[in-house]
Amino acid sequence: MNFTNLSSIENEYDIIVVGAGPAGSMAAKYAAIDGARVLLVDKKKVIGKPMQCAGFIPEAFEIEKLIPDLVLPEEMKNIPQHCIRAKTKTQRLTSPDLNSKDFLVSGFVLDRERFDCQLAKQALMAGADVLQDARVTQIQKTKDGEFESVLIQFGGESDDKSGGESRKREIFGKIIIGADGPSSFVGKTFRLVHSESEKTNSGAPYERGIGFEYKMENVDTDMETLDMYFGNRYVPGGYVWIFPEGNGKANVGLGLRRSLCSEKTPATMSEKLSAKAFLDRFILEHPIASQKLKSATITAQTGGIIPVAGAPPKTAAKTALVAGDAAGHVMATNGGGIPFALAAGKIAGQVAAKQIQKQNSGNGFSVLEYDSIWREQFGDALLATVQARKLMDKFIVSDKLMNAAFKLLPADRLKAMQCGDLPKPVKTGLNLLLR
């Protein structure tokens, strides 16, 4: 199935969606189903490629147990088999002193390229126009500050100055949906992001995580187990993962924060190491993982930003909204966000289409209700993971404290903790460790 050509798109749409990840494609699909004229724009030459995600997604019943108010869409409950690389049953956490604890987690490691492409095709089949290899370079607003149009550069920046203008189009719209990632252009344009002047409770500026990963072959690991490793020599303030992808393949990567990447060496009092350098060290030196990876070869690498500060104060203006990573819809404790992106995308599309119907009936319209709807469903759950991360930040920087926490907490509590569920006795015990 081919996506829409630039020459075939219209000059005006009801809704323009920027970014064809899970949130954007869901928004476009459900807005089109509800009768809106929709344009979905993605900057990648091939939607879903390259992918900047480890790809793990818990089964729907796992998420529903954790967040009962979250309304999961069917796309989360019925994932096509060809989009699944591996089915997992267990998650294993390994402490800095190499003690491991396992717990049951049913889920899938997705082929995100196929999964994202599948969702975009569903949006196309629902009636949306879908443009790939098309970058939004400008967003125009009316005198009142409402969304008016986007300028699209098709095929990237042209070196041919004489023909470059023919590859640019201004497209008008009534509502814009930003599903364009952690550095959302839409979010910045409408101030739907954490501002640089905002501070956390500790007084520090908001910070985002860094993810870096390899695709590897000939990996000697359990193909039904998600492995996560901790330890400041390999991943300060974060964790390294080995996620199976079937047939001896795995996604091997890490998530950390730049502020925690310093280490003292004989040559320098404080040296900043890159995420890649830490991951390479882990692969070569970790006492357990290096044995699993000693015969493995790297077939691809990628990296990206992980929003770990939670959602901004506002995720919607009158004619604009953000969803998915652009809205901080990510578990701050582990970086997982696919279920939230799917749910938020559907809500965004339905709210936007509803408001277009109101406008077509001669009434005023606003998508502000989107913000309250998604927060009612999973806002508290996201906030809990931010609060849990802040507590974890206090001891994850110390291997000694991490090892003590592993000994203190049973496996089921570790499972709950990484999802933001910190019962009072656990908080008390962790705070005792910090004294």
Q: Determine contact, residues 359/365, Cβ cutoff 8 Å.
A: yes
Mean pLDDT per 10-residue interval, the chain, length 435 residues: 80 97 97 98 89 85 89 94 94 94 92 94 97 95 96 68 64 97 95 68 59 95 93 90 94 84 50 85 97 96 88 96 96 88 98 93 87 96 85 81 85 71 57 54
Q: What is the DSSP string of 295-315?
A: T-EEEEEEEEEE--S---S-S
- What sign does the CA torsion over 341, 213, 268, 284 have? positive
- What sign does the CA torsion over 221, 227, 228, 231 have? negative
Q: Indicate the pTM of the whole model.
A: 0.90
Q: Determine contact, residues 208/306, Cβ cutoff 8 Å.
A: yes
Residue 41: its H or E element: strand 38-41
Architecture label for domain 209-306: 2-Layer Sandwich (3.30)
Integer Cα distance of 134 and 41 in angstroms: 6
Residues of the chain with CATH 3.30.9.10: 209-306
Query: Residue 107: what pLDDT?
Result: 93
Q: Determine contact, residues 109/86, Cβ cutoff 8 Å.
A: yes
Integer Cα distance of 87 and 225 in angstroms: 9
Give residues with Cβ within 8 angstroms of 411, minimum separation 6. Answer: 101, 102, 103
Phi, psi of 434, rounded to the nearest 5 degrees = -85, -10
Bridge partners of 433, per DSSP, are none
Query: Residue 134: what pLDDT?
Result: 93
Residues of the chain with CATH 3.50.50.60: 6-62+114-201+309-384
Name the CA radius of gyration of the chain, rounded: 22
In 127-262, which residue ranges form alpha helices assigned H by DSSP?
185-189
- What sign does the CA torsion over 157, 176, 372, 349 have? negative
Query: Residue 206: what pLDDT?
Result: 57
Query: Residue 266: what pLDDT?
Result: 45
Q: Which CATH number fits domain 6-62+114-201+309-384: 3.90.1300.10, 3.40.50.2300, 3.50.50.60, 3.40.228.10?
A: 3.50.50.60
Nearest to 54 by CA among 335, 340, 381: 335
Query: Residue 158: what pLDDT?
Result: 42
Q: Determine contact, residues 374/403, Cβ cutoff 8 Å.
A: no
